[in-house]
Structure 1
Amino acid sequence: MTRVLVVDNHDSFVHTIVQYLRELGADCDVRPRDEVRVGDADGFDAVLVSPGPGTPEEAGVSVPLVRHAASRGQPLLGVCLGHQAIAVAYGATVTRAPELVHGRTSAISHDGRGVFAGLPSPVRMTRYHSLAVLPETVPPVLEVTARTGDGLVMGLRHRTAPVEGIQFHPESVLSEHGHRLLGNWLRDVESRISRETV
């Protein structure tokens, strides 16, 4: 069973994400961000950095944890605030989005790889955010994997480490294929574990 450290950035959505992951067979240890140290991740197969209020810089251990996981080759998925933490960890700018969105579904076009494997493009996902990654500041080490129709960054992936971020909420009941997206992530984690144990 895949052991996942879930960093809870004080968000009500985290419990639904954890429910999905458990339905998919993961063993989740949910810890409030104030109680997580970077080294705590070392005992897990993967890390999920949850949504939450505020900015990535205010998200406790989230930004340094992204760098730590990447340096170890440890799979990490950032959702909403966690996605923004990935951007900030590598020098991208997170700023006010053109408009605040709360529970809006948007058509997201994506590259069909990683967490998006096998999902239709565009796929409708639900957004809750007031901040967004400035696309022109995304560094070469990260690639933009998904966007809204008007060009907002909705997905990021590290080019060499198993670190991926999504701005939207796959766990929302209004999101299409959110369960499959999280399942893709867990399958990637499991295949990585299998390769390492051979």
Structure 2
Amino acid sequence: MILVIDNYDSFTFNLVQYLKKLGADVVVIRNDQLSLADIRELQPASILISPGPGNPDGAGICLDIVKTFYQDIPILGVCLGQQIIAQAFGATIQKAAQPMHGKVSMINHNQTGVFHQLSSPLQVARYHSLIVEESSLPPSLEVSARSEDGEIMAIQHKDFPVAGVQFHPEAILTEKGLEMLSNFFIKRSHTKQNEDKENELKRTLAFI
């Protein structure tokens, strides 16, 4: 099950529809209507933190979710969700050079994580006025995509399955958005299951 944290944003519905297209079971809860204990009880396979208005400090329980579960539950943040992940690890959020509401950009990416087996550059749709300040990024986070003017368009954790995208993969103007979500939530999950099976087989053979 994928737990979607809704930051009171109209795009959340579109993200949920994309996840359901991928065959995922989805539970949607708003950012101020659940506790960390609720998440432990739900035992989600992964978490998506949605876009939303404002900044990470006004996003309910989201910062605490990242700080508490990043080592145990895969987390993907979209737009505000990326900013939440970055701030949770100590980065600073600042105003973008110019607001990008409903505008299209080309991004260059490193073809890893959400961009696995996708061509670069890609066209994406942007709806934001804040960005992650690159000089404040901690060593644990790396940039995985940039706009043509160098602004951070995606980040990923170096050791855990935690990532963010500043653009909207669910927007119709974003190329390969469904594939990006599949890379993180579906293909990554299948890879993890196969790795677990291989490790279990190795442990079994070691005792034969």
Report what 1:22 is aligned to: 20
Equivalent-residue separation in structure 1 for 2:83 and 2:10 (angstroms) = 18
Equivalent-residue separation in structure 1 for 2:9 and 2:56 (angstroms) = 14
Equivalent-residue separation in structure 2 for 1:180 and 1:105 (angstroms) = 18
Instruction: Give the direction of change, closer, same or farther, for the CA distance of 1:71–1:4 in structure 2 (3 Å limit).
Output: same
RMSD: 1.2
**1:64 and 2:34 correspond:** no
Equivalent-residue separation in structure 2 for 1:106 and 1:56 (angstroms) = 24
State whether residues 7 and 36 of structure 1, in contact with CA within 8 Å, keep that contact through their aligned partners in structure 2.
no
Report what 1:97 is aligned to: 96
**1:143 and 2:142 correspond:** yes
Report what 1:45 is aligned to: 45
Greater alpha carbon shift after TM alignment, 84-93 vs 38-47: 38-47
Equivalent-residue separation in structure 2 for 1:52 and 1:105 (angstroms) = 19
Q: What pairs with 1:1-198 in structure 2 (closer than 5 Å)?
A: 3-42=1-40, 43-72=43-72, 74-186=73-185, 187-196=187-196, 198=200
Q: CA deviation at 1:33?
A: 0.7
Instruction: For residues 63-107 of structure 1, give each alpha carbon's deviation from its aligned partner in whole angstroms, at most 9, with x where no partner exists.
Output: 1111222132x1110000010001000110001111111111100
Q: CA deviation at 1:37?
A: 1.4
Q: CA deviation at 1:195?
A: 3.7
Q: CA deviation at 1:119?
A: 1.1
% same residue: 43
Q: Which amino acid aligns with 1:40?
A: D
Bigger Rg over Cα: 2
Equivalent-residue separation in structure 1 for 2:116 and 2:33 (angstroms) = 33
Equivalent-residue separation in structure 2 for 1:82 and 1:40 (angstroms) = 20
Q: Which amino acid aligns with 1:152?
A: E
TM-score (norm 1): 0.95
TM-score (norm 2): 0.90
Equivalent-residue separation in structure 1 for 2:13 and 2:190 (angstroms) = 22
Equivalent-residue separation in structure 1 for 2:140 and 2:55 (angstroms) = 22
Equivalent-residue separation in structure 2 for 1:111 and 1:41 (angstroms) = 32
